[in-house]
Amino acid sequence: MNPGLMNKKLQLLRADGTENIIWQPVSTVWAKVVEGKNGLAVPMATRSPAIEITMRDTDITEADAVTFNSNRYLVTSVIQDTEHPVYLKVTAVQAPAYTADIYRPVKTKDSMNATVWNVEKIGSSVCSLFERYVTAKEERGHGETSTALIMVTPKSCILKEGDSVDVLGSRWKVTACYQMDQYKNRCQIERVADN
């Protein structure tokens, strides 16, 4: 590997926090970057622009993200170069950063000891959103459009089915949760709007 080819500046980001999770810059690295690829950030999502990165060995993992040319990318694989073990081959998929406020139904008792369900904000988290699918169905003569997205969060953000998130200026319901891997969590969120 010719070190002179590692002439692109990247910022390495790592999720930080438990209740209010944000991306924190941890280091700046120089790397060789190949653009023009497409990659899959998570199963069930559409393909997104991707980059292939060659960099010196560092503590980067699939839990991290990088910023390159003002775009944020989620790291999807980190492999040690077998020919030159001092280098890593990293794949990352473009994923704009959003902040989602997270709400959870909480069961309490009122003054008459009756069960009352309240929705309480439990925190916020950085996330990435990927298109899932759009369906249109007719029910009782009235059109309803359901938009579903795949939401990827750092591992420290644990969502449950039934939770709600405020992102993209709307309230979304968490309809399915998946423990993706040891680095990230994935859930499906849906917003239902009447036509």
Query: What pLDDT sits at residue 42?
Result: 65
Query: What pLDDT sits at residue 34?
Result: 93
Residues 6+ apart with CB under 8 A from 107: 115, 116, 117
Query: What pLDDT sits at residue 141?
Result: 47
Tell me the C-alpha distance between 156 and 145, whole Å.
Answer: 32
Q: pLDDT tens digits, the chain, 195 residues: what are they?
A: 787 889 999 999 999 988 899 999 999 999 999 998 877 666 666 678 899 999 999 999 999 999 999 999 999 899 998 888 899 999 999 988 899 999 999 888 888 888 888 889 999 999 999 887 555 554 444 555 567 888 999 988 989 999 999 999 999 999 999 876 788 899 999 986 654
Residues 6+ apart with CB under 8 A from 92: 39, 50, 51, 53, 65, 66, 73, 74, 75, 76
Query: What pLDDT sits at residue 45?
Result: 65
Query: What pLDDT sits at residue 173?
Result: 94
Query: What pLDDT sits at residue 92?
Result: 93
| 117 CA to centre of own chain | 29
The H or E element spanning position 122 is strand 115-139
Query: What pLDDT sits at residue 52?
Result: 94
Query: What pLDDT sits at residue 138?
Result: 41
Cα–Cα distances in Å, from 113 out to 118, 119, 158? 15, 18, 30
Residues 6+ apart with CB under 8 A from 124: 19, 20, 21, 99, 100, 101, 102
In degrees and rounded to multiples of 5, residue 5 shows phi and psi of -80, -15
Query: What pLDDT sits at residue 83?
Result: 87
Q: The dihedral of CA 22, 157, 122, 159: what is its sign? A: positive
Query: What pLDDT sits at residue 137?
Result: 54
Tell me the C-alpha distance between 184 and 167, whole Å.
Answer: 18
Which domains are present in the chain? 3-94 (2.40.10.270), 98-194 (2.40.10.370)
